[in-house]
């Protein structure tokens, strides 16, 4: 990603972006590159610095060092030119509990000097409809469930057509149905040409929603690119189920692989071997095994999964549920 056109085509670009809280480094010199038009997953475990980075991107807090450019303009210097084109959900939704959902959106809309007054009611109505909250528009927010607040927070980001949406953990607190709705919402926004920058600690969510991703770990950016690029980094491997483990290990070693005995269930044992840079075709391996007298109950070549990749990048504690 060095070409002039591509750099100009970045919706978000940071160089050496860092934030320290006292002596603690929350964000450690990250170089984010979010192409325009992408759905960009900003993935990382809790406390890895995602929200802190987003606050800096939006001019809420000041970087300790590094530069930020959003929609081609430097932040926070050109904040007033940039932010009208950005919709955001940061660190969860926040509203006036004593106002209704619609009144909350109207209030936040008046804060945007570029939001026309004449269309305000209609836009609020439209945004509520888009997140499926029309029925609760006149309910006070203190009576909203967490999921409803989350939807309202997304609606707030959608009050005007945006070039960039920054959504910090948008599916937190949503039920599976809500999660699916958010996903399809993101897809439809992306189809309209909006760049969506979505942070999450859930791998599955990113895999299903995004075209690009970056992985944060303890304040550092450890990987970045399209999902395909990220997957390519891993290795394919042989997954063999057999009652003759000793023979299998011998044959595979002979082929130049480095097999290990993995789990064993009641009758069968599982042998795993990374293919590495050997160019063995699956049928050749099976032929060799059969020739070596190994009974094959199951055989597969496993493609690398993002999950393993992220576990490798961010450590075992990674929350990869669902």
Ligand X SMILES: Nc1ncnc2c1ncn2[C@@H]1O[C@H](COP(=O)(O)OP(=O)(O)O)[C@@H](O)[C@H]1O
- Residue 200 makes contact with Mg ion by CB under 5 A: no
- Residue 51 makes contact with Mg ion by CB under 5 A: yes
- Residue 217 makes contact with ligand X by CB under 6 A: no
49 binds, among other proteins, ligand X, Mg ion, none (CB under 5 to 8 A by kind): ligand X
Among 39, 50, 149, 186, which residue sits at the site for ligand X (rule: CB under 6 A)? 50
- Residue 26 makes contact with ligand X by CB under 6 A: yes
Among 22, 23, 117, 321, which residue sits at the site for other proteins (rule: CB under 8 A)? 117
**The tokens of 205 are what?**
């969510």
225: β partners: 213
Task: List, in order, residues 6 or more apart from 272 with CB less than 8 Å away.
Answer: 237, 238, 239, 240, 259, 260, 262
- Closest to 86 in 3D by CA, of 196, 225, 199, 207: 196
Segment contacting Mg ion by CB under 5 A, of 46-54, 63-71, 80-88, 313-321: 46-54
Task: List, in order, residues 6 or more apart from 208 with CB less than 8 Å away.
Answer: 183
Element (H, E) at 209: helix 203-209
Among 14, 35, 170, 179, which residue sits at the site for other proteins (rule: CB under 8 A)? 35
Q: Least distance to other proteins from the beta carbon of 264, Å? A: 45
- Closest to 44 in 3D by CA, of 231, 209, 222, 217: 217
In angstroms, rounded to a whole number, what is the distance separating the alpha carbons of residues 123 and 317? 42
Cα 262 to its chain centre, rounded Å, is 31
- Residue 88 makes contact with other proteins by CB under 8 A: yes
> Contact 215/44 with Cβ under 8 angstroms?
yes
Q: Least distance to Mg ion from the beta carbon of 168, Å? A: 6
Pairing of strands 220-226, 260-264: unpaired
Among 14, 38, 52, 179, which residue sits at the site for ligand X (rule: CB under 6 A)? 52
Q: Least distance to other proteins from the beta carbon of 80, Å? A: 6
Among 20, 29, 99, 220, which residue sits at the site for other proteins (rule: CB under 8 A)? 99
DSSP 3: S
Q: Least distance to ligand X from the beta carbon of 226, Å? A: 22
Segment contacting ligand X by CB under 6 A, of 46-54, 115-123, 184-192, 206-214: 46-54
Residues near Mg ion (CB under 5 A) are: 51
């Amino acid at each position: 990603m060095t070409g002039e056109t591509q750099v100009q085509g970045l919706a978000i670009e940071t160089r050496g972006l860092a934030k320290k809280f006292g002596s603690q480094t929350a964000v450690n010199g990250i170089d984010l590159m979010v192409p325009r038009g992408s759905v960009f997953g900003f993935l990382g475990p809790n406390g890895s610095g995602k929200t802190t980075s987003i606050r800096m991107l939006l001019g809420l807090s000041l970087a300790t060092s590094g530069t930020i450019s959003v929609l081609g303009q430097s932040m926070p210097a050109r904040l007033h030119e940039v932010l009208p084109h950005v919709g955001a959900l940061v660190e969860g939704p926040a509203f006036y509990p004593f106002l209704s959902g619609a009144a909350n959106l109207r209030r936040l809309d008046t804060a945007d000097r570029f939001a026309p007054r004449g269309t305000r009611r209609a836009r609020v109505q439209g945004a509520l409809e888009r997140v499926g909250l029309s029925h609760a528009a006149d309910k006070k927010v203190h009576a909203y469930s967490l999921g409803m607040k989350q939807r309202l927070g997304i609606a707030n980001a959608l009050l005007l057509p945006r070039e960039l949406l920054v959504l910090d953990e948008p599916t937190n607190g949503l039920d599976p149905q809500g999660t699916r709705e958010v996903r399809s919402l993101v897809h439809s926004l992306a189809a309209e040409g909006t760049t969506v920058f979505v942070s999450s600690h859930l791998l599955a969510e990113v895999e299903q929603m995004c075209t690009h991703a970056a992985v944060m770990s303890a304040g550092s950016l450890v990987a970045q690119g399209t999902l395909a690029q990220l997957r390519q980094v891993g290795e394919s491997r042989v997954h063999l189920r057999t009652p003759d483990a000793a023979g299998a290990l011998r044959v595979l070693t002979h082929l130049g692989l480095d097999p290990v005995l993995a789990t064993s269930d009641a009758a069968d044992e599982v042998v795993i071997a990374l293919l590495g840079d050997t160019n063995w075709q699956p049928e050749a391996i099976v032929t060799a095994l059969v020739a070596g007298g190994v009974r094959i109950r199951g055989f597969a070549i496993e493609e690398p999964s993002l999950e393993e990749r992220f576990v490798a990048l961010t450590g075992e504690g990674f929350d990869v549920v669902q």
